[in-house]
A and B are shown apart, each in its own frame.
Chain A
Amino acid sequence: MVRASVLQLLQYVTGALMVFLVSWHLAMRIPWLRGMESFIETLDATVVYGEITGFGLLILILAYATLFHGINGLRVILLELRHGEYWDRLVNVLALIVFIFFAALATYGIVGVEPPA
């Protein structure tokens, strides 16, 4: 069992990390920074595949940090809504399951991608 203080510290660390990573993630969609004309062009299959192969690890770190921050935030809100031993356990277990599911999906989205035809 992880202590609540450790989780809160991780919430701050992932939050600070996300400021940089989400800014970078959003900047990738600014067409002028990439010598393109429109927002839609930045989502072209070859461009996206280039990002996945070039910055795969960074995207995965972003996904894990964001998932932790988001799910832990929802967990805290749910724990504040109601109190009780079973409720606490249910919310904690649910948060862990949701984290594992979406982390696995994000990993597959990066690792399992084939080059566009």
Chain B
Amino acid sequence: MARERYTRLLDLRPRWRAFINPWLLRLPNNPERLAFILHRTTGVIASLFLFFHIISTSTPARAGWEAWREEVLNLQGLTPISLLFYIAMGAILFHGINGVRLILAEALALGIGKPEKPKPPYIAPLLRGFQRRLLYATFALWIILWALLGYIMFFT
């Protein structure tokens, strides 16, 4: 009895595919929610980075070009600063690409679908078809551009 219950519990857990497929995550209201959470998190990271970025890029005016050269040295190769910079770049990239998707959906109503009678099993039109492909494209483009940026930063 206990074993049966345990097996059932295991079955309810998302499988390994959930890690790469946001549509399988058992979040309430599902993948849009994942994109929403990521959009907010990356937005906060990008905003905090912006403050540091303005402080550091005003260095030539505040402290001269010699201080700027010392700052730039921190970005050469794999350093804690360059790693943080790379994480911030990833946040900005996701926020920007997902932002374009949001503008397309909210301003042009692209891929949202028409209202329809809910039939079980109910899947919102927003989570099917074009909007779903657009979210896949957002994640794919993000990974590709972030990897490319990593190559530029660490291997050139």
Contact = CB atoms under 8 A, between A and B. Distances in A.
- Say whether A associates with B: yes
A29 B132 CA distance: 32
Contacts, number: 90
Chain A, interface size category, equals 35 or more
Contact of A117 (B40, B65, B92): B65
User: At the interface, is chain B mostly helix, strand, loop or mixed?
Assistant: helix
B43 interface: yes
A45 B47 contact: no
B65 A108 contact: no
Contacts of B100: 19
Interface string A2-28: 000000000010011011001100100
Contacts of A1: none
Contacts of A77: 40, 43-44
Contacts of B107: 12
B84 interface: no
A102 B51 CA distance: 7
A84 B55 CA distance: 32
Nearest to B60: A113
A74 interface: yes
Interface in B104-156: 106-107, 149, 152-153, 156
B58 A40 contact: no
B50 interface: yes
Given A67-B50, A102-B54, A116 B65 contact: yes
A45 B65 contact: yes
Interface stretch (B18-26, B28-36, B68-76): B68-76
A115 B61 CA distance: 10
Contacts of A48: 60, 68
A59 B5 CA distance: 61
Given A22-B92, A40-B72, A16 B103 contact: yes
20 contacts: A12-B107, A18-B99, A19-B96, A19-B100, A30-B152, A40-B76, A45-B60, A48-B68, A63-B54, A71-B47, A73-B44, A77-B43, A105-B55, A106-B54, A106-B58, A109-B57, A109-B59, A112-B61, A116-B60, A117-B65
Interface of A: 12, 15-16, 18-19, 22-23, 26, 29-31, 37-40, 43-45, 48-49, 52, 63, 66-67, 70-71, 73-74, 77, 102, 105-106, 108-114, 116-117
Of all A-B residue pairs in the complex, the 3 with the closest CB atoms, nearest first, are: A109-B58, A70-B47, A112-B61
